Amino acid sequence: MKKILILMLTIFSVSLTAQEIKWMTFEEAQKAQKKEARKIFVDAYTVWCGPCKMLDKNTFHNKDVADYVNKNYYAVKFNAEGNETINFNGKMYTNPSFDANKTGRNSQHQLTSYFGVRAYPTLIYLDEDGNLLAPIPGYQTPKQLELYLKFFKNDYYKNVKTQEDWEAYTSSFVPEFIE
């Protein structure tokens, strides 16, 4: 019985780690891009944001999401109101008005403004050269996120020029991720 329990715990532990997105810093992602070209996927979150926490729990821990992101993107978790100094595309970004004594909302990081983030969470997509493709605001389920992950990964965005193009893409999209 003890061996079965240990085996079950081991399998459970392995399956949990298989469902983790491999988050990195902006600097690590840019360095990795130089070795192997991939787009960057950024989770711009805040510590006080309820939908950000739900996205983490319900979407980012989904096996299909984690596997797809890890295989096709460099993933960056970015505290949009944090205090870290970030070197992005050769420029330093900080949060000069950050107040370490605040427990809720804080001032916005300079990089947050650069990306045009207006709500939390916002999922940011960058191309293989670190150029902004789009900030997509709001909570997304695994199937909703899949639409965007594949849209940017497969360069479909290059062919979408009008609202009709977008509607054609979304209406023909068949999600494969299991929720």
Whether residue 69 lies inside any domain: the answer is: yes
Give the integer Cα–Cα distance in Å for 11 and 14: 5
**What residues make up the domain containing 101?**
20-140
pLDDT greater than 80 at residue 15 = no
Whether residue 145 lies inside any domain: the answer is: no
Q: Are 39 and 152 in contact (CB under 8 A)?
A: yes
How many domains are there within the chain? 1
Q: Give the residue-averaged pLDDT of 101-108.
A: 92
Whether residue 31 lies inside any domain: the answer is: yes
Give the integer Cα–Cα distance in Å for 38 and 1: 46
Q: Are 107 and 93 in contact (CB under 8 A)?
A: no
Whichever domain contains 112, its CATH number is: 3.40.30.10
- pLDDT tens digits, one per residue of 50-73: 999 999 999 999 999 999 999 999
Whether residue 9 lies inside any domain: the answer is: no
- pLDDT tens digits, one per residue of 131-170: 999 999 999 999 999 999 999 999 999 999 999 999 999 9
DSSP 118: -
